[in-house]
Amino acid sequence: MKNKILNRLKKLISGSAALFICLLLFSFKVEASTKKDTIVNSFKLKTVVIDAGHGVKAEGSPQGHYSRGADGSFSSERNVTLAIALKLQKAIEKDVNGVKAVLTRTTADDVSFENRAEIANQAKGNLFISIHCNSLSDRVVRERVGTKKRKPVYRSVRVPDRSGKGVLMLIYGLHRSREEENAIKNNQVEDDSDLNGDALDPNDPTVIILTNEYKRKFRKQSVNIANFINDELVGNDGRRSEGLREQGIYVLCHSAMPSVLVETGYINNPDEEEYLNSADGQNEIVDSIVRAIKSYKNQIEGVTTIK
């Protein structure tokens, strides 16, 4: 098992220093060498999982974590995200060579957070992209309603806030790292192990090292794909961006792969809602994400030189 995991670590770890540390931990003899080895990365981006956020909870569906999503003046987030996801699936399989796209839902019916992550992991996804629409909560303002004993009387009133504008990229929050580690152990490390029917030992040093290396790699790659998508939406589509943020999102930390949630726009902003529901707007979003995936694919399938 150790030899197999060591080979996996060599592929995962970038940089001679990190590789040297891991070899020491396995008590292997390391000989000094000035030779530079050029390694063609054997990793291939094969499966992208597309998650259409939210949906309508089907009657009689089992208990789970559901959310109906945000609403605009004439549309709902769950319908917009599904429309974009369906287009994105077709575009990826048409324009990104050798890559399959898997959807977590294909109908209006919602899928629980747990099942979305399970679908992604069972599909052996290499990348998870969750499509959403943003929305701002109502503002609470003080409104004067009259006077009493010559003093003004006020009341609190909720007022819709339609000022939100632009895209936002979200990656999982570090406070949920333990959940991500469990997902990696169950869906990545076990696949690299010769268990012969035995249970995985979470305290095995080889398991700990491999899990941490996957976690580090996935974190870095999540940031990279988020930045690629953000740059495309801003640079090519002229969209305003709120940048990249961390958030404790269940499907991101339970999907054992690089993952990003794309807030495509504010559905409760009238102009943004029109854009998100238009064919041109949806096509621009899809085209930008596809270009970002191509850049990401080229990056992670590149050539690495180890001194």
pTM: 0.80
Q: Residue for token digits 């969750």? A: 130
Domains of the chain: 45-136+165-300 (3.40.630.40)
Taking CB atoms within 8 Å and a gap of at least 24, the contacts of 121-126 are 121/183, 121/186, 121/187, 121/254, 121/255, 121/256, 121/257, 123/47, 123/49, 124/46, 124/47, 125/47, 125/48, 125/49, 125/255, 125/257, 126/45, 126/46, 126/47, 126/48, 126/257, 126/258
Euclidean distance between CA atoms 179 and 285, whole angstroms: 31
Radius of gyration of the chain (CA): 23
pLDDT by position in tens, the chain (length 307): 455 555 555 555 544 344 334 433 433 333 334 444 444 456 799 999 999 999 987 666 666 777 789 999 999 999 999 999 999 999 999 999 999 999 999 999 999 999 999 999 999 999 999 999 999 998 888 878 788 888 888 888 888 899 999 999 999 887 767 787 788 877 776 655 544 444 455 566 666 777 778 888 999 999 999 999 999 999 999 999 999 999 988 999 899 999 999 999 999 999 999 999 999 999 999 999 999 999 999 999 984 544 4
Q: Which amino acid is at 287?
A: D
